[in-house]
């Protein structure tokens, strides 16, 4: 039996398999979770809004933002159902947070940018050793970002062990950078953010710093809930939302065809 150091903390789905001993595993004995029939993502951001007698609007935020995720499943066989059901029972509702990767955000919209963030290299391709190694580019924050800010500069550079530069068209008319609507996460905290705009070397807001050709600036929502240090690893491919079940998982339905069904209501864990 393979050894493992911890139980899986990713909701099982077709991309995150779980073994019978509870660890994330890609071996043939591991079971994939079922795909989602539908996903509902709610931007839970409470605001107070009022109007004066002159009909001017007064608005202010009264609480931090969080994401709510509702997942519906197609009817499942027992083989499909049990990996997810046992996983959820182990979380004990709001006591144990876990991660979920939403299918609409797994792959960046821009195919060229997806090639950059998933790029790996064989060490032998530039005269290295015989063992294959991953030399993905470094994609990190450039400069400290304060809490409450909504913009961050991103630096893309080649891996220190990779001898040949790769193409990053940060200054092209159709740059291979992320697109508005992509999700992004940062290594220093687990909050998930949605990109609202991307600024590059030729196209950036007036009165702001012009990004270099190997950098770009993203604007996100919500604002950063905490400061992000310089050189923080940034994830654009398969970003995950840290969530909890507001209540312990309590019921499922079994129909006359011996197919299981249930829905999940999850809330972002901050």
Per-residue pLDDT tens digits for 165-175: 555 556 566 67
Q: Rounded CA gap, 177 and 265, in Å? A: 32
Identical fold, 17-102+242-268 and 107-237: no
- Report whether pLDDT(241) > 70: yes
Q: What average pLDDT does the chain have?
A: 85
Annotation: CATH topology of 107-237? Elongation Factor Tu (Ef-tu); domain 3 (2.40.30)
Domain boundaries, the chain: 17-102+242-268, 107-237
Which one is predicted more confidently, 34 or 125?
34
pLDDT-derived band at 131, boundaries 50, 70, 90: very low
Closest CA to 163 of 128, 192, 189, 134: 128
Task: Using a pLDDT cut of 90, give the percent of the chain over it.
Answer: 51
Number of H helices, E strands in the chain: 2, 17
Tell me, what's the pLDDT at 132? 43
pLDDT of 16 strictly over 90: no
Segment holding 1, helix H or strand E? none
H/E run at residue 87? helix 78-91
Task: Give the list of residues 6+ apart from residue 206 with CB closer than 8 angstroms, or none.
Answer: none
Average pLDDT estimate for 91-107: 93
What CATH architecture is 17-102+242-268? 2-Layer Sandwich (3.30)
User: For 86-98, what is the mean pLDDT?
Assistant: 91
pLDDT at 243 over 90: yes
What was the pLDDT predicted at 20?
78
């Amino acid at each position: 039996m393979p050894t493992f150091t911890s139980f899986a903390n990713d909701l099982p789905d077709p991309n995150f398999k779980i073994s019978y001993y509870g660890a994330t595993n890609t071996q043939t004995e591991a079971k994939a979770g079922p795909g989602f029939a539908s996903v509902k993502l709610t931007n839970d951001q409470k605001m107070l809004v009022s109007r004066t007698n002159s009909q001017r609007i007064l608005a202010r935020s009264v609480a931090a933002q969080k994401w709510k995720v509702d997942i519906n499943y197609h009817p499942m066989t027992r083989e499909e159902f049990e990996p997810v059901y046992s996983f959820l029972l182990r979380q004990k509702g709001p006591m144990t947070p876990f991660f979920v990767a939403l299918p609409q955000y797994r792959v960046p919209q821009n195919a060229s940018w997806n090639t950059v963030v998933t790029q790996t290299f064989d060490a032998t391709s530039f005269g290295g050793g015989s063992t294959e190694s991953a030399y993905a580019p470094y994609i990190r924050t450039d400069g400290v970002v304060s809490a409450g800010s909504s913009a961050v500069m991103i630096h893309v550079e080649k891996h220190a062990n990779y001898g040949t530069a790769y193409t990053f068209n940060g200054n092209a008319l159709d740059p291979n950078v992320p697109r508005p609507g992509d999700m992004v996460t940062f290594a220093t905290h687990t909050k998930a953010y949605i990109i609202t705009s991307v600024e590059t070397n030729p196209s950036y807001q007036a009165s702001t710093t012009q990004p270099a050709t190997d950098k770009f600036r993203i604007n996100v929502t919500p604002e950063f809930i905490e400061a992000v240090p310089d050189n923080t690893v940034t994830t654009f491919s398969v970003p995950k939302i840290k969530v909890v079940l507001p209540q312990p998982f309590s019921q499922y339905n079994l129909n006359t065809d011996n197919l299981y069904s249930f829905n999940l209501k999850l809330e972002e864990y901050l």
